[in-house]
Structure 1
C-alpha cells in the first residue's frame, strides 16, 4: 500500500494508521509469518536485532539494522539453508519481500578443509604495505575483555587451537621478497601463543599497571613471517579475570571480531560440557576472494566505474580549496605517538531514536545521518559547504554470485573518497537528502576504488587516481556491538588499557579519524587527532558541534513535517530531486481529489 503524502510529496504522518500498542516502537501493525521461510527469517531478525517479535512488513532499518548486521543475518540464514546476499536486504527491506527473493539452492564456493598456499594481496593489504611503517609487525587490532565466569586456561587453549584450524586467515604469514610482499596461508603447525598471568596478590592499581605493561609487550611481539598473527593472555585478578586477544590487522577486521567472539563462546561452552568443538560451516575462503578480486580488477564491470572515480577528482579539485582543515600548529609531525582522542556520545534514548525512528523519514541508513552531521559540523568549522572524506566500509560486497563472506575471518575493509556537499541546504532535511543521494551514487559501496588503484593493470589510470585530492578526514562507523557482547555473553568490554595497538614510531596518514560504534545502547564517537597539529579544545569544540548537528537531525526526523523521497528511492525513474518533488506533488493532488 502506498504511503499517504502531503502536498509537498512528504509522508503525511497524521494519515498513517495508528501503531499496534503491543509494538510501541514500530509503525507497522504486526503481521505474522505465512511460510516456513518467512518464519525462519523473522526468527533470525528477532534474534540478531534483539527484537521480541518481527512481522513480515517490518522494515529492517527501522528495527535498527545496518550494513554490518545484514552480514550477521546472511550468516545465520546460511546456517538454516537460506542463501541471501547483504544487497538483497537493502533492496528488500521487509521479511515478506526478502523471503520472495531468498535462494534455497545458491551455489557458493566454500572449502571446509584447511586452506593453505599462496594468497594474492587484496587492495587493503597493498595499501598497508604501501604505508611503509617502520614497525609493520606492530599494527594490530586488540580487545581486552572482562570475563563473567572464570575460564579454565587449559580449555581456553584448546578453544584457541580450534579457532586457528577453522579460520584460515589467522594462519596468514607475510614475507618480503624482491618483487614485494608475499602472502601465504600456512598449515596448522603452530599453536596460538598463550600466557596465563596470576596477578591476584597485587592491589587493584598494581593489577591495572601490570595488565597494561603485559599488553604493551604482547602488542609488539607479533612476527609477520610466522603464523599465527595472534597472541592471547589471560589475567587472574583473584575475584575476576581479563582476557586479552591481539591479532595483526592484516588478518582481521571489525566483522571478523564478531565471528570470533561467537565462535570463542560456542567452542568454550562445547568443551566445558564434554563435547567436541563443532563450529558452523565455513563460508568462502579469504584466498578464493583474493583470487576473484584479482580477476574482477580487469573486468568490464569495474572498468565502468572509472568515470565515476575520475569525476570525483575533477569535482573535488574544482570545489575544494587546497587545504580545507584549519590547524593550530603548522608543520607538526603527524605521528602515532602524538595521537590523542576526544570522545562524545548520545544517550540511550537518542541512540534508539537514531536507530529506529530516524530511518523512516527519508528512507535513510545510519551512515547517511552520521555523515550529514559530519558535513554540517565541518561547514561550521571551516566555512566550506563541501567536505572530502575518506570512508571505511566493511568491504564484503556482493560482486560475485558464488561468494558468501558472512562467516569468513580476514581484513576486507575498503577505503574510498566521497565528496559530501550540503550546498545551499537550508534545513536538516534538505542536507540529509543531499548527502543520502551522494552516498547512493557510490558504486558497490566503494570497493572498486581500491580494486582499480591497486589491482588494475592500467598504470595511466592509477596515476590519474593518484591525482585525487587526498582526504584529511577519515570516518568509520563500526556498528553495534550489543548483539555480540550481550548480557548473556561470557564477556564484557574491560575498562583497563590493552596497550598500544600500533607502534609509537609509526605515522598517521589523516589529520582526523572519527570512529563511531554502539555499546550498551549508546552511540559513541571517538575523534582521533595529533596533539602536534591540533589543540584538544579545538577537537572538543568540533566534536560537540557534531553532536548538536546530530541531535538536530534526530529532532527534525521525529517532527510531523519531516519526510520525503529522493531519486534513489526510484532507481528506474532516472529523475532529479526537483523533478521528483514536482511529480509527487502532482500525484498527491490527483489522489486528494
Structure 2
C-alpha cells in the first residue's frame, strides 16, 4: 500500500488512467494494461499533481514506488509554455495570411514526406486512407449533421490545408471556418445485394478521388442509410492531417457529440493542446545535440548496404493476413504479465526474429511506429499526425523469445526521449537510405470500445491503407473483442506472390513458437515452411 501522500496520489492516478481501483506501489504499469497512449495520460495527470516524470521514465521504472522516487530526486522545472498562434512564423509570412486563416505553422517532416509520396502518384492512393464501417445505428440525420459540424469546429486538423510555395517555408493553414464533411445518401430502397455493390463502388470511387492539399476539406464522410437500423459510414482522409489514433478518436467523438446533442447534454471543451505544440517539439528534437548523438551512436559501426530497391513511381500494396491462434491474445497477456513486459514487446520480438531470417543476420535493422504526442493533460485527445517511424538496431544473440521481448522493450525505452527525430532526417544524418525498408506497427485503439456504451455496434470494417514502406508488419488488438490480428503489407513489385506468402507464414510460425515455448532458445524456432524445407533437403 502507499506509504506517503505522493505515492497515494500517484496510485490513484494510475488507477484512474487504467480504469481500475487504485494500485499497489510495486504493481507494474504494463502488467495492469498500460501502453504508450495511456502513458501520456499518466504523465500529464501526474504532472498536474506535481509529480513529474516522462514517458521514457514509465518504460524504465514502471511502478508507483519508482516513479515517485525518481520525481522527488529531480530538481523542479518550470512547466512548459504552450506555443501561441502564429508564433513560429516569420513576420513577413504573417502579413501574407488572409483574414480567413486563424493560425499557421510549418509542416512536420512526415507531413511533407506523405504529401510528396501522395502527390507523386495520386492514383496509387498512398497515404490516402479510406475506411468503410457497417454500423448498427439508427441516427437522427439532422442531429448527426450538426455533430459533424461541431467536430470540425473542435479540431484544427479538420480545418487545415497546406500551402507549399506561397510563404518562405511550406505552411499548414488553420482556417477559421471548415467545410462540410458529411454527405448523406439513402440506399434503403436497394436490395441487400445492390447495397453491397453500391457500398463497394463508393469505396473504390473514394479511393480514386484524390485530395487537393490546398483546399478544404482533407477529410470526407459519407453516410449511406441501409435500413431503419443500420448505416454504412465511409471515412476518407489525407494521412498528412491525422494518424490512426486520431481517426478512431474522431469516429468516437462524432457519436459522442451526436448523443450529447440528442439528449441536450453538455460536451467537454475541445483540447487545449494544439498540433502546433507537436511541431515545436519536433523542431526542438531536431536541434538537440543529445538526440543527434543518440542516433549517430546507435548505428555506429553497423555494416552499410545498398537499399533494397530504387524508388518507383508506383507502389501497389498487397496485404496478406497472418495466421493467429484464437487464444493468442489471452496467452500473450498472461505471458506479458508473468514477465512484466508489454504485450507489444513480444510482438516486436516476433518481428525482429522474422527480420533476422529475411536478412540472414542476427544484426537487424528495421523501423517501428512511435507516437510523439505531447505529454500534456489532453495530449491523447488532440487530432493530428503525431507518429514517426523510428529505426531500430538489434543484435538478437542467444536466449529465448522472452529475452528477445526484454531486448525489444529496452530498445524502445532507450529511444523514447529521441522518438520525435524524423526518420528522413535520421537517414540523412547517418547517410543510410536503407533504414526503414521494413516497418513494425502495433495498435490498440481501446477508445473505440466506448462506442458500445453509445449504442453503436460495428458489424464490419473494410480498410484501405497504403504506405511507402516495402514491407509492413501490422499487429492490432480488436478494441471490442481484444482479439489479436496480424497482417503483412508488401510492395507488389518488391516481393513476388510466393515470397509474400512465405513471409506471412514466417510471422505466423514465429508467433506460434513464441506461444508454445517462450522460454526455449529462439534459435531453435523453425520458421521455414514445408515447401522450403523440402527444397533445402
Residue-by-residue CA offset, 1:60-115 (whole Å, 9 max, x unaligned): 21123211232355678799999875445435534565577889998465599999
- Asked if structure 1 preserves the Cα contact closer than 8 Å seen for 2:18 and 2:38, the reply is no
Cα distance, 1:269–1:102 mapped onto 2, change above 3 Å: farther
TM-score by length of structure 1 reads: 0.72
* Alignment of 1:236 onto 2:222: no
Aligned to 1:527: 488
Task: Let me know the Cα RMSD of the aligned residues.
Answer: 4.0
- Asked if structure 2 preserves the Cα contact closer than 8 Å seen for 1:143 and 1:246, the reply is yes
Aligned to 2:533: none
Aligned to 1:513: 472
SS of 1:61's equivalent in the other structure is coil
- Asked if structure 2 preserves the Cα contact closer than 8 Å seen for 1:33 and 1:39, the reply is no
TM-score by length of structure 2 reads: 0.79
SS of 1:407's equivalent in the other structure is coil
CA distance in 2 between partners of 1:268 and 1:100 (Å): 44
Which of 2, 7, 13 in structure 2 is aligned with 1:41?
Answer: 13
SS of 2:240's equivalent in the other structure is helix
Aligned to 2:148: 160
The alpha carbon displacement at 1:531 in A equals 3.2
Aligned to 1:446: 419
Cα distance, 1:139–1:315 mapped onto 2, change above 3 Å: same
* Alignment of 1:344 onto 2:322: yes
Cα distance, 1:541–1:52 mapped onto 2, change above 3 Å: farther
Bigger relative CO (Cα 8 Å, ≥ 6 apart): 1
The alpha carbon displacement at 1:262 in A equals 3.7
CA distance in 2 between partners of 1:447 and 1:426 (Å): 31
Aligned to 1:469: 434
Cα distance, 1:148–1:79 mapped onto 2, change above 3 Å: farther
Aligned to 1:67: 36
- Asked if structure 1 preserves the Cα contact closer than 8 Å seen for 2:317 and 2:489, the reply is yes
- Asked if structure 2 preserves the Cα contact closer than 8 Å seen for 1:334 and 1:509, the reply is no
Cα distance, 1:356–1:496 mapped onto 2, change above 3 Å: closer
- Which consecutive residues of structure 1, in runs of 5 or more, have no partner in the other structure? 1-29, 454-461, 503-507, 563-593
SS of 1:477's equivalent in the other structure is strand
The alpha carbon displacement at 1:310 in A equals 2.7
Aligned to 1:133: 120
SS of 2:212's equivalent in the other structure is coil
Residue-by-residue CA offset, 1:139-187 (whole Å, 9 max, x unaligned): 3334333333311221111111111111112111012316787333333
Residue-by-residue CA offset, 1:396-440 (whole Å, 9 max, x unaligned): 265xxx7862221110111222122213x1533443444444444
The alpha carbon displacement at 1:475 in A equals 1.3
**Structure 2 counterparts to residues 274-285 of structure 1, below 5 A:** 274-276=264-266, 278-285=267-274
The alpha carbon displacement at 1:356 in A equals 4.2
Aligned to 2:189: 201
CA distance in 2 between partners of 1:305 and 1:492 (Å): 44
CA distance in 2 between partners of 1:275 and 1:403 (Å): 23
CA distance in 1 between partners of 2:193 and 2:461 (Å): 10
* Alignment of 1:379 onto 2:377: no
CA distance in 1 between partners of 2:213 and 2:231 (Å): 29
Aligned pairs, number: 498
- Asked if structure 2 preserves the Cα contact closer than 8 Å seen for 1:75 and 1:406, the reply is no
CA distance in 2 between partners of 1:53 and 1:349 (Å): 29
The alpha carbon displacement at 1:316 in A equals 3.2
Cα distance, 1:231–1:331 mapped onto 2, change above 3 Å: closer
- Which consecutive residues of structure 2, in runs of 5 or more, have no partner in the other structure? 86-99, 523-537
CA distance in 1 between partners of 2:164 and 2:174 (Å): 16
The alpha carbon displacement at 1:550 in A equals 2.6
Which of 501, 509, 531 in structure 2 is aligned with 1:548?
Answer: 509
SS of 2:164's equivalent in the other structure is strand
Residue-by-residue CA offset, 1:236-295 (whole Å, 9 max, x unaligned): 11141122222221111122234323422321121010235x224513211233234334
The alpha carbon displacement at 1:497 in A equals 3.6
Cα distance, 1:209–1:105 mapped onto 2, change above 3 Å: farther
Cα distance, 1:90–1:429 mapped onto 2, change above 3 Å: closer
The alpha carbon displacement at 1:235 in A equals 1.1
